[in-house]
Structure 1
Amino acid sequence: MIDASGKVVIPGLIDAHRHTDFTLVQGLFSELGGGELLEEALALYHTAESTLGDSFFEAAWQLACLRQLTHGVTTVNAMDFTPALGAEAIGESGLRGVIGPELADFLTPASADDQLTAARRFIETHHDTYEGRVTASIAPGGEAGCSRRLWEGVAELRADYPELRLHTHLYDSAEADTMAAGSGADDPLDLLDRYGLLDERTLLTHLLHADRDDARRIADAGAHVLHCPTVYSYFQAGERTWFPLPALQRFGANVVIGLDDPFWFDSWDLVQEAKHARLLSNFEYGAQRWSSYDLLRMLTIDAARALGLDDRVGSVEPGKRADLVVIDVDTPRHQPYSNLPSVLTNTVTAGDIETVVVDGEVLVEDRAVESMDVERVREAATRQRERLQAHTGWETSLGGSTPPDGSILRRVSARPLLRAMKQYGRGVVTRHTW
């Protein structure tokens, strides 16, 4: 029995788009510009991958699970380069997760065929494990990172595993049409459509440079939109700083919320992300784009529908899997109130989350994590973070962080990145290009 007197019980929160395995770099990049950040982050990732080994990424996944639990996130939809480690971490922590190996042969040294083989192996090994709490997805990185051969292989995977979600980035660059042309398509949506990848099982992330016609095509296909507002407002990435929300709403597309990569904004609070989504959309398009209740649905049942889990989670009702969160609103910071959805989306933060239940199991009780060894996770994270800094030369203090002299990018092979740029006729990598 859980005493929730004077408190609020809502379905567990669902983070609809997450990159997880670089969790340990929090704060390193916060003061960099967007282009410089991405250059340094890609290079640093390859450094960690080649020199620090699985222990670095294991610690990252464990810390991510701990943070998700303490922020009331019960389900995460992740796209990562270390999915097997993620499946184990999510499963052992008691969380629910949809995980796809990120397929991007222009961004990593592995060939398209090798990545596709690994993805198939991951699906066969990890899909529908941990009593069904861990499931697989097919996760091509997007029009910018994938060759034509890789898209062909993704289509083959989709045909062989039709029950899986396809999770990808789309239109997050002003050059999206040009990049799609490299695979023989008119634009990114045409690229997906040509390979039979655009339907109600498709999850499209960002859409920063999509337009009204794109929104209509997405809605007509029944695809779902994963909106990550904060990272783009933080760096004002591109001339267009927002995605076509009014058109997506006009045509009835399902739009839900994700936190994206922790190295961008260092954020884990999904409720605050929804609040930012509303504030930024109001700033761009005018007030009352979303009601408070709309935002709660986006974080719960609408996100569950996007992931194909709405028959199991996303609402508190008989017959579902008992993923829920107890929130303490019986405090002077919240009382008195009259509009409960407004309280939950405007003033509640992760610190108000008292109890977290997944699949009927209590994972957090009275704000204490029960399903993980918190001190062991923190010690491993600290140790691996210190290894990263010692190896790369990043200096940190309470006042910020300082990259090593000279770009890390010059000391790590960037051949996959250069190959991607040449594929699309843009010549060389320059600062602020990405």
Structure 2
Amino acid sequence: MTDLLVHDATVVTVNRENQILRNGSIRVTDGRITSVEPTESGDRTATADRVIDASGKVVIPGLIDAHRHTDFTLVQGLFSELDGSELLKEALALYHTAESVLGDSFFEAAWDLACLRQLTHGVTTVNAMDFTPELGAEAIGEAGLRGVIGPELADLLNPVSADEQLQAARRFVDSYHGNYDGRVTASIAPGGEVGCSRALWEGVAVLRAEYPELRLHTHLYDSAAADTMAAGSGADDPLDLLEQYGLLDERTLLTHLLHADRDDARRIAESGAHVLHCPTVYSYFQAGDQAWFPLPALQEFGANVVIGLDDPFWFDSWDLIQEAKHARLLSNFEYGAQQWSSYELLQMLTIDAARALGLDDQVGSLEPGKQADFVVIDVDTPRHQPYSNLPSVLMNSVTAGDIETVVVDGDVLMRNKSVESLDVERVHAAAMRERERLQAQTGWKTSLGGSTPPDISILRRISARPVLRAVNQYGHGVVHRYF
């Protein structure tokens, strides 16, 4: 018995043959794809628990956000007009205010809202690094989404000791890895060469040896002082730091690489590590002197480069398709046209990202035997018709507003833009309540015209902590996101 049948769709499989079916049908049983074939007349009258007539629609694999921080979903819009250094300092202070004053309900509402936004933007899998991973695992699991989540470890920029953070990470892995029918998995997520002491890296190496199946997810070279910070842990540079602890291989995910050079790109590619590129955040603030990351060298040496949206409070976006578009435009501006084709961008958001997360045997393409994670996009509108070169339409013209239906593990989470797996009113009510509490506790003012920080910076209204001393010592451009 077929649980779900989609017929008459243009199916972009992203399989090894790069196959696109003009009129295709997808059958799903027990959460797995059983067939992807041309539509036959009988498909239109076939019996299934759920049938989706996708005439005039395009079906692609579910989108994968390869790098995300989610704790601060509810501050979206507060920091958008600040310069980078002011934003960072206010964010650091605001996090500790929320942690100590607002409590779990603030972060629970943030995660639920994040899941709603990911779902409605066609993101079926997210790779997250956060300080509230337990809340995230439960929110993602209950929403029906797929997630790889790691507790962010950064003892130099966090008052909690390395041992305590590592123990908490081990508890998280033991409690949540493989939960929700395998949709939620754990990662090991040290913040990077800036925020981690030698003791923490030693503990990370031990933790990874205990859990060799987990991905290691970290920031690297997002600061001009990266080599200096790595030297503090006894290494020549950040890659040497990872190599010393046996942490640089095909299970390693390296985020940003803003200040990496051609030789770094070669070493990364040779190790098999994956690169998580977040283009908009750095073009929004242009952190540091270097404008872009070493894309041509990474391409030359064959590194797997995929795309993530990073923090929601930097530039207020949840649209991964638009992020891919920005990646191409900004890379073309920096290095010349034709850095990526449209189809390559689509692969980066699907099968390449799945490979980075070690999930390419489960998701990332539409093939028999894989989990049924896909989105249905409406292109049968005056805004898109007529068209040719479908990959170009998907990567240049489509936005998240065109996504109509979202399926994960064969379950329909959103149908005809109506969310089925979340109580939308409840999520919005909680978000509004917690956002109001946030503003009342911190003194932030908001209006339709913008937002205003407190008259007296909240940096002056919380007790001095190691994290703030670290920011003052190293300055903007060194610390990207560590709380």
TM-score, normalised by the number of residues in structure 1: 0.97
* Partner SS for 2:53: coil
Shift of 1:137: 0.1
Match of 1:376 in 2: 426
Q: Deviations over 1:360-404 (max 9, x none)?
A: 000000001000000000000000000000000000000000001
* Equivalent residues of 1:36, 1:432 under 8 A apart: no
> Residues of 1 paired with 2:189 and 2:475: CA distance?
27
Match of 1:244 in 2: 294
Match of 1:335 in 2: 385
Matched, 1:57 2:107: yes
Match of 2:210 in 1: 160
Shift of 1:430: 5.3
* Partner SS for 2:467: helix
Match of 2:190 in 1: 140
Q: Which amino acid aligns with 2:154?
A: A
Q: Which amino acid aligns with 2:132?
A: T
Q: Deviations over 1:219-273 (max 9, x none)?
A: 0000000000000000011100100000000000000000000011110000000
Quick one: which of 347, 369, 385 aligns to 2:435?
385
Matched, 1:302 2:352: yes
> Residues of 1 paired with 2:332 and 2:477: CA distance?
28
> Residues of 2 paired with 1:387 and 1:133: CA distance?
32
Shift of 1:311: 0.2
* Equivalent residues of 2:85, 2:476 under 8 A apart: yes
Matched, 1:428 2:473: yes
Shift of 1:106: 1.6
> Structure 2 vs 1, CA of residues 392 and 219 (structure 1 numbering), >3 Å: closer, same or farther?
same
> Residues of 1 paired with 2:112 and 2:97: CA distance?
20
* Partner SS for 1:138: strand
* Partner SS for 2:292: coil
> Residues of 1 paired with 2:191 and 2:478: CA distance?
18
> Residues of 2 paired with 1:204 and 1:414: CA distance?
31
Matched, 1:33 2:83: yes
> Residues of 2 paired with 1:385 and 1:274: CA distance?
30
Q: Report how many aligned residue pairs link the two structures.
A: 429
> Residues of 2 paired with 1:254 and 1:412: CA distance?
42
> Residues of 1 paired with 2:218 and 2:463: CA distance?
25
Q: Deviations over 1:116-147 (max 9, x none)?
A: 00000000000000000000000000001111
Match of 2:266 in 1: 216
Q: What are the equivalent positions in structure 2 for 1:3-402 lying under 5 Å apart?
A: 3-402=53-452
Q: Which amino acid aligns with 2:134?
A: A
> Residues of 1 paired with 2:268 and 2:428: CA distance?
42
* Equivalent residues of 1:166, 1:197 under 8 A apart: yes
* Partner SS for 1:136: strand
> Structure 2 vs 1, CA of residues 336 and 203 (structure 1 numbering), >3 Å: closer, same or farther?
same
> Structure 2 vs 1, CA of residues 420 and 182 (structure 1 numbering), >3 Å: closer, same or farther?
farther
> Structure 2 vs 1, CA of residues 288 and 227 (structure 1 numbering), >3 Å: closer, same or farther?
same
Shift of 1:332: 0.4
Deviates more, 1:291-300 or 1:107-116: 107-116
* Equivalent residues of 2:201, 2:245 under 8 A apart: yes
TM-score, normalised by the number of residues in structure 2: 0.88
Q: Percent identity?
A: 84
* Partner SS for 1:192: helix
Unaligned runs of 5+ in 1: 422-426
> Residues of 1 paired with 2:350 and 2:464: CA distance?
40
* Equivalent residues of 1:105, 1:416 under 8 A apart: no
Q: Which amino acid aligns with 2:335?
A: Y
* Partner SS for 1:87: helix
* Equivalent residues of 1:99, 1:134 under 8 A apart: yes
Shift of 1:433: 6.5
> Residues of 1 paired with 2:398 and 2:66: CA distance?
20
Q: Which amino acid aligns with 1:139?
A: A
Shift of 1:429: 5.8
> Residues of 1 paired with 2:57 and 2:393: CA distance?
12
CA RMSD of aligned residues (A): 1.1
Match of 2:460 in 1: 410
Unaligned runs of 5+ in 2: 1-50
> Residues of 1 paired with 2:81 and 2:293: CA distance?
24
Shift of 1:406: 2.6
* Equivalent residues of 1:104, 1:140 under 8 A apart: yes
> Residues of 2 paired with 1:89 and 1:260: CA distance?
18
* Partner SS for 1:2: strand
* Partner SS for 2:340: coil
* Equivalent residues of 2:352, 2:364 under 8 A apart: yes
> Residues of 1 paired with 2:430 and 2:340: CA distance?
41
Shift of 1:30: 0.3
Shift of 1:409: 1.6
* Equivalent residues of 1:418, 1:429 under 8 A apart: no
> Residues of 2 paired with 1:343 and 1:413: CA distance?
52
Q: Which amino acid aligns with 1:228?
A: C
> Residues of 1 paired with 2:113 and 2:307: CA distance?
21
Match of 2:4 in 1: none
Q: Which amino acid aligns with 2:473?
A: V
Match of 2:33 in 1: none
* Equivalent residues of 1:35, 1:433 under 8 A apart: no
* Equivalent residues of 2:173, 2:186 under 8 A apart: yes
* Equivalent residues of 2:288, 2:477 under 8 A apart: no
Shift of 1:405: 1.5
Q: Deviations over 1:286-340 (max 9, x none)?
A: 0000000000000000000000000000000100000000000000000001110
Shift of 1:18: 0.1
Shift of 1:2: 1.1
> Residues of 1 paired with 2:447 and 2:225: CA distance?
38
* Partner SS for 1:120: helix
> Residues of 1 paired with 2:167 and 2:398: CA distance?
44
Q: Which amino acid aligns with 1:208?
A: L
